[in-house]
């Protein structure tokens, strides 16, 4: 799995996760390591969609609430996991641990071609619910 971490998540989180998942053939990269910090959401979303194979991690619900960004996201045919507010409130280390705990199940979901937007729950046994608008 190729994971992309949006600007509202710590770049250190993406880099740490990359070290852990790299031996299994996965990768994690933060926005600032791939794009200029001023790159608009619609631009990076479209670019990742054209490249294909990316899974998005974000805490920015504006992507799915703003009609222009939401249309860009779904047109790009991406799979994204949006951290629940309870996860966003955790310290970075605990956010990282939560994502790593879910990593294998997320990888399986992505491999099944289940495109869309999902909540990343705090609970380790919770199901990944699609975000509906």
Spans of all domains in the chain: 2-119
Going from the C-alpha of 38 to that of each of 32, 42, 56, 97, the distances in angstroms are: 9, 12, 18, 28
In angstroms, rounded to a whole number, what is the distance separating the alpha carbons of residues 130 and 116?
7
Tell whether the torsion through CA atoms of 74, 132, 90 and 122 is positive or negative.
negative
Which pair of structure tokens corresponds to residue 94?
């605990």
Instruction: Give the model's pLDDT for residue 128.
Output: 86
* Mean pLDDT estimate for the chain: 93
Which residues have CB under 8 Å from 130's CB, separation 6+?
Answer: 116, 117, 118
Instruction: Give the model's pLDDT for residue 133.
Output: 65
Instruction: Find the range with the poorest average confidence among 94-98, 102-106, 126-130.
Output: 126-130
Architecture of domain 2-119: 3-Layer(aba) Sandwich (3.40)
| Predicted confidence band of residue 101 (pLDDT cuts 50, 70, 90) | very high
Is the pLDDT at 94 greater than 90, yes or no? yes
In angstroms, rounded to a whole number, what is the distance separating the alpha carbons of residues 20 and 28?
9
Is the pLDDT at 114 greater than 90, yes or no? no
């Amino acid at each position: 799995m190729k994971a992309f971490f949006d600007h509202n998540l710590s770049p250190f989180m993406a880099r740490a996760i990359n070290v852990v998942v790299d031996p299994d053939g996965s990768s994690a990269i933060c926005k600032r390591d791939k794009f200029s910090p001023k790159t608009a959401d619609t631009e990076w979303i479209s670019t990742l969609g054209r490249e294909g194979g990316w899974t998005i991690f974000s805490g920015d619900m504006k992507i799915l609430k703003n009609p222009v960004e939401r249309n860009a996201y779904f047109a790009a045919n991406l799979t994204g996991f949006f951290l629940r507010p309870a996860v966003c409130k955790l310290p970075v280390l605990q956010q990282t641990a939560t994502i790593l705990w879910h990593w294998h199940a997320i990888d399986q979901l992505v491999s099944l071609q289940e495109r869309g937007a999902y909540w990343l729950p705090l609970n380790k046994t919770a199901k990944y619910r699609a975000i509906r608008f």
